[in-house]
Structure 1
Amino acid sequence: MSQSFVAELVVSHPDLPLTPTVRAVSEMTITLESLPLTRPERSGSIAFYSVTGADFRTFEMSLDDDHTVDEWHVTMEFEECNIYQVRLSSAAKFTTPEIADLGVRVLSIENGDRGWRFRLQASDKERLGAYWEYCRDQGVDFHLERLYSSGPRATVGETDSLEAHLTDRQREVARTATRMGYFERDGASAEEVADELDISPSTLSTHLRRIMAKVFRHTFGN
């Protein structure tokens, strides 16, 4: 069996589909059952959600006030679960088309801590790193909770530190980007970090991709 990597992460942004609703009804379980995999040219993208919980009325009132939703209706009703068809508005911000473009498979998407919890599968760690970088460029918070491999996991000794795997220049880039808040939504931009390091934004991007690849490799082996 070929090796693949599975990442469990939470993405958050106020304009991601249904995020205002997710934040208003955090006690309910909302699962995305279908998602748009192409980049929408205008409003009208359709998504289906299964919702589990007791307070469907509160959920529906939140949909009415959600700026990412144009219209919705219930397609199936059960005792503890409803299926909703939602037409998303032009204000909705999508990251799922980028996931498809990168060749990453979506295993599941459910509501998480004030955002959406994604479970993704990729053939290599660099694709996951590229999705992280895309989220950062789009101002979407990206919090990696877990990353594991389907292949044999290398054992990392206690003295085998990540820092030892980075070059002096990569350590400088990582420390500068962290200090300037590059990894935070309201932190420094790529251009500002690049200026601080006296390099171009494209060179910074190359450094960050290589650093992230080493982070994944150090944690989960080759």
Structure 2
Amino acid sequence: MNVIAEVGITGPDLALAPTIEAVPSAAIQVVPQSGTDAETGMFFFLVETDNEGFDAFDAALADDHTVDEWLLVSESETARIYRICHTSEAKVLAPKTAEVGGLMLEATSEPRGWSVRLQLPDRAALTDIWEYCKDEGITFELRQLYRQDDWTIGGVTGLTDAQKVALTTAYERGYFSEPRETSLEELAAELGISPTAVGGRIRRGTERLVESTLHEE
């Protein structure tokens, strides 16, 4: 039996922490399907914001001491995929998670750092990660811990946690009501991201729900 840990991590040398702080309107997520290489420090990130936000994000990357080099891989009006190689001083949790036999199921940016969901073989592995964070000067906040019988890569619906939060919040605030009882701007203020990012999460989350529950191959 393994455990699922939902954790908040912060720290000045945490990967992309300076960029996250400089551009709070940008919603950043590690692309889970991409491979990671502990030797090169190269990762892929999905970034959601508006056009002005992307200009600020690119400028912040250039000043970020945790970023060695970056490449824009793909882009749309509201989302971009970046390939980022971290510097040697950047603190990254993914390699340590793999070292203890775990998976990083999801990592999304917060105002001061990252919210991550880890799938680990046991509590001892979680303790190892906590000790690693302590040694590296990373603030570690365990928010939820529960057991799970089987190893999984995604839920039944295939939604990310960020999409679940966006859709649930939109539903609870009456975004889907007729007439609407809230706006993207109000949802964005509550979630702490840009209206463009909220709209993207709702759109992609709805697409995944339809694909996983209604669409037949």
**TM-score per shorter chain, which class?**
0.5 to 0.7
Decide whether the 8 Å contact of 1:6 with 1:120 is kept in 2: yes
Shift of 1:22: 0.9
Alpha-carbon distance in 2 for matches of 1:90, 1:128? 24
Sequence identity percentage: 37
Alpha-carbon distance in 2 for matches of 1:12, 1:35? 23
Shift of 1:103: 0.5
What's 1:76 paired with? Answer: 74
What's 2:45 paired with? Answer: 49
Tell me which amino acid in the other structure corresponds to 2:36.
P
Tell me which amino acid in the other structure corresponds to 1:36.
T
Shift of 1:113: 3.7
Cα displacement string for residues 52-82 of structure 1 (whole angstroms, at most 9, x for unaligned residues): 1111111111101111112222110112100
2:84 paired with 1:96:
no
Alpha-carbon distance in 1 for matches of 2:131, 2:90? 20
Decide whether the 8 Å contact of 1:35 with 1:96 is kept in 2: no
Alpha-carbon distance in 2 for matches of 1:45, 1:138? 16
Shift of 1:90: 2.4
Decide whether the 8 Å contact of 1:73 with 1:84 is kept in 2: yes
What's 2:2 paired with? Answer: 4
What's 1:36 paired with? Answer: 36
Cα displacement string for residues 161-181 of structure 1 (whole angstroms, at most 9, x for unaligned residues): xxxxxxxxxxxxxxxxxxxxx
Shift of 1:36: 3.5
Decide whether the 8 Å contact of 2:91 with 2:136 is kept in 1: no
Segments of 5+ residues of structure 2 without an aligned counterpart are 150-217
Tell me which structure has the larger Cα radius of gyration. 1
Alpha-carbon distance in 1 for matches of 2:5, 2:133? 15
Return the TM-score normalized by structure 2.
Answer: 0.62
Alpha-carbon distance in 2 for matches of 1:37, 1:130? 20
Alpha-carbon distance in 1 for matches of 2:143, 2:37? 24
Alpha-carbon distance in 2 for matches of 1:6, 1:145? 11
Aligned residue for 2:108, secondary structure, equals strand
Alpha-carbon distance in 2 for matches of 1:49, 1:115? 14
Cα displacement string for residues 102-146 of structure 1 (whole angstroms, at most 9, x for unaligned residues): 001110111124011110011211211221112112221101111
Decide whether the 8 Å contact of 1:30 with 1:49 is kept in 2: yes
| Number of residue-to-residue matches in the alignment | 145
Change (3 A) 1:46 1:37: closer
Tell me which amino acid in the other structure corresponds to 1:28.
A
Alpha-carbon distance in 1 for matches of 2:99, 2:107? 17
Cα displacement string for residues 17-71 of structure 1 (whole angstroms, at most 9, x for unaligned residues): 1110011112221011146353x3xxx5321111011111111111011111122
What's 1:150 paired with? Answer: 148
Alpha-carbon distance in 2 for matches of 1:98, 1:11? 14
Tell me which amino acid in the other structure corresponds to 1:98.
K
Tell me which amino acid in the other structure corresponds to 2:146.
Y
What's 2:104 paired with? Answer: 106
What's 1:119 paired with? Answer: 117
Tell me which amino acid in the other structure corresponds to 2:48.
T
Alpha-carbon distance in 2 for matches of 1:35, 1:88? 15
Decide whether the 8 Å contact of 2:2 with 2:121 is kept in 1: yes
What's 1:209 paired with? Answer: none
Tell me which amino acid in the other structure corresponds to 1:50.
L
